[in-house]
Amino acid sequence: MKGQAYFNWIFVIVIGAIALAFFVGFAFQYKELQEKKTEIIFLNSLDTSFTNLQSSSFSTSTNLKLPLDFSVRCDNSSFSIFVNEKHDVDYIIASKNNIKNNLFIWYKPYANPFFVTNIYYFIDTEGIDIVTSSQNVRELVDEMPENFKSKINFDSSDGRRVDVVNDKLIINGVSYDYLGDELIYAAILSDNYPCLADHFKTKLNDAVVTYTIKSNILRRSGCNYNLILSEMNKLNGFDSSAIDRIENLNRDLINKNCPSLY
């Protein structure tokens, strides 16, 4: 009789322990599964927003209520969005490292003077503190979409210092080359401008390679594209004075009944 009671107790304890381990394990697995599901739903919405914004050839913006906080990372290979795990994206993203609550996305195609890439600018409800003494930077912020402009705070003294002096972009005292207002916006909104500029240079170089190959084909029409190509190559060194010359040379080609390069 006593042996039976012992057996019952041992049985209950062993089964209870197994059941407890099972339910705790299930709870953890289920939580992980739900997080993954939410992450995919979020990435899906983000991708939809990217595509919708890109369907316009103009600068457009939208906002997204975030089910999860996420971070934007930039390394040598690509930009990535990190929620619970890393998801590489094919886009150039100018953003703070960590985005919380509400995401505002602004899209601007970089076409200066020819299309190079799309740039996405991110900001969240918290906004960004910027210190500047450049009127140029303040004017550019004024031209941003309303939901971005209102989140850039110039009053704080401990924000990122962004100035434009003599065609150089100066971020926290370090001088960088830049090409176009799009990169000044990137310097304002991105926590990692050097990495963004490297990716931009790669895209710009790809575009120049594409147009070099195109010009080799167009030469069959008897036109000479050497001048415009040499100016395009100067863009790789962020020589902004080449932009006007490229535009003029492309117009000259059209006036000579040659196929336009871009």
Q: Does 257 bind another protein (CB under 8 A)?
A: no
Sheet holding 152-153, edge to edge: 152-153, 128-131, 160-165, 168-171, 174-176
We find the least distance from the C-beta atom of residue 22 to another protein, in angstroms, to be 6
189 vs 217: CA distance, rounded Å: 40
Q: Is the peptide bond before 113 cis (omega within 30 degrees of 0)?
A: yes
Give backbone dihedrals phi and psi of 137, rounded to 5 degrees, phi first. Answer: -65, -45
Closer CB to another protein, 176 or 262, in the complex: 262
> Of 109-168, which residues contact another protein (CB under 8 A)?
111, 113-115
> Of 29-88, which residues contact another protein (CB under 8 A)?
29-30, 33, 36-37, 40-41, 43-44, 47-48, 50-51, 54-55, 57
Q: How many CB atoms are located within 10 Å of the residue 246 CB? A: 23
Closer CB to another protein, 96 or 108, in the complex: 108
Q: Does 226 bind another protein (CB under 8 A)?
A: no
Q: Does 218 bind another protein (CB under 8 A)?
A: yes
Beta-sheet pairing, 168-171 with 160-165: antiparallel
| Contact string 86-105 vs another protein (x = CB under 8 A) | ----x---------------
Interface stretch with another protein, choices 141-149, 159-167, 172-180, 214-222 (CB under 8 A)? 214-222
Q: Does 254 bind another protein (CB under 8 A)?
A: yes
b/e burial code for range 207-223 (CB count within 10 A of at least 16 → b): bbeebeeebeebeeeee
81 vs 219: CA distance, rounded Å: 43
We find the least distance from the C-beta atom of residue 44 to another protein, in angstroms, to be 5
Closer CB to another protein, 22 or 154, in the complex: 22
Closer CB to another protein, 54 or 71, in the complex: 54
